[in-house]
Amino acid sequence: MEPGNYTRVSEFHLLGFSEDPELQPLLFGLFLSMYLVTVLGNLLIILATISDSHLHMPMYFFLSNLSFVDICFTSTTIPKMLVNIQTQSKVITYAGCITQMFFFMVFLEVDNFLLTVMAYDRYVAICHPLHYTVIMNPRLCGVLVLLCWILSVLHALLQSLMVLRLSFCTHVEIPHFFCELNQVIRLACSDTFLNDLVMNFVTVLLGGAPITGIVYSYSKIVSSIRAISSAQGRYKAFSTCASHLSVVSLFYGTGLGVYFSSAAAQSSLSSATASVMYSVVTPMLNPFIYSLRNKDVKGALRRLFGGKL
């Protein structure tokens, strides 16, 4: 087989969840609703943190960035899927597929790094409260967010460039609702050993390091909370990181579930369905978790709505 005969692929086909015509309106309505809720909920969080001076703190600065990334995260996949359902077309161009894959990885990694930075912020706030304002100064917060973006873009660029070197056969059906890196690599006719090696290494590195940082931060937080003598003080300290801990559990729980299930199972449909959890459901639930479990955010939203009534 000569790779040169298979490099000119102009388009891929996203198979999605089902080819049953009767299910298409249901899928369209379901994902459109989730997308609108995601965008609206995260926009409200951003508006609340910007408009309310009580939320002009590092914790909410990171939260507003997380909300922005979640909007972008879902916008890389859901609108294209909705258009395909509406037009009854499963086509995505080669350039469009690579672009979608690039931005999906960027926003996924920024999400990953931001959750780690937020864990560090909670660690400093609870374990070093007297030095919190000095350590978590505006300059450091800006540098941390910028670093999250730089590392994410470099990773996505590396993976995308490595996909561009692959040769593809005529069978270009992706059993997914978006151009997921692993699924695209599986379609290649050329040798993918280097791609698989880099993908697995980077997954372990960029997934393991943040998880290790979060676990370490919360181990120190738990130790500090246990040292507090009063029950009310312990509850108050824990409540400041309860929302973040819930989001972390949801994001990494669903993400790791998808990773291990796709490695163990051969069903592409089950992998695509599981991917909805961390790529669609988690960004949709984040605003609810922070607004329902955080008194400051609830107060800011109340004042935001009150000012418009």
Give the model's pLDDT for residue 8. Answer: 61
Give the model's pLDDT for residue 159. Answer: 96
In one letter, which amino acid is 200? N
In this structure, is residue 57 part of a structural domain? yes
Tokens 């086909």 label which residue?
Answer: 13
CA distance 24 to 30: 10
pLDDT band with cut points at 50, 70 and 90 for residue 220: very high
Give the model's pLDDT for residue 1. Answer: 40
Residue 227, classified by CB atoms within 10 Å of its CB into exposed (0-12), middle (13-18) or buried (19+), is exposed
Give the model's pLDDT for residue 298. Answer: 80
Give the model's pLDDT for residue 169. Answer: 78
* Mean pLDDT on 168-184: 86
Residue 300, classified by CB atoms within 10 Å of its CB into exposed (0-12), middle (13-18) or buried (19+), is buried
Residue 4 has pLDDT above 70, yes or no: no
Tokens 């995308």 label which residue?
Answer: 160
In this structure, is residue 104 part of a structural domain? yes
In this structure, is residue 3 part of a structural domain? no
pLDDT band with cut points at 50, 70 and 90 for residue 61: very high
Higher pLDDT: 265 or 149? It is 149
pLDDT band with cut points at 50, 70 and 90 for residue 5: very low
Show the CA angle centred on residue 138, arms to residues 136 and 143, nearest 5°.
90
In this structure, is residue 281 part of a structural domain? yes
Dihedral through CA 153, CA 159, CA 162, CA 166, nearest 10?
A: -130
Instruction: Find all residues with CB under 8 Å of 170, minimum gap 6, and list them.
Output: 6
Residue 113 has pLDDT above 80, yes or no: yes
Residue 309 has pLDDT above 60, yes or no: no
CATH number for the domain spanning 154: value is 1.20.1070.10
pLDDT band with cut points at 50, 70 and 90 for residue 237: confident
In this structure, is residue 133 part of a structural domain? yes
In this structure, is residue 250 part of a structural domain? yes
Q: Calculate the average pLDDT of the chain.
A: 87
In this structure, is residue 2 part of a structural domain? no
pLDDT band with cut points at 50, 70 and 90 for residue 267: low
In this structure, is residue 246 part of a structural domain? yes
Report the domain count for the chain: 1
Structure tokens at 202: 């980077």
Structure tokens at 297: 């955010």
CA distances from 234 to 51, 213, 215, 240 (A): 30, 22, 19, 10
Residue range of the domain that includes 144: 8-308
CA distance 215 to 201: 21
Residue 293 has pLDDT above 50, yes or no: yes
3-state SS track over 138-152 = HHHHHHHHHHHHHHH
Give the model's pLDDT for residue 3. Answer: 43
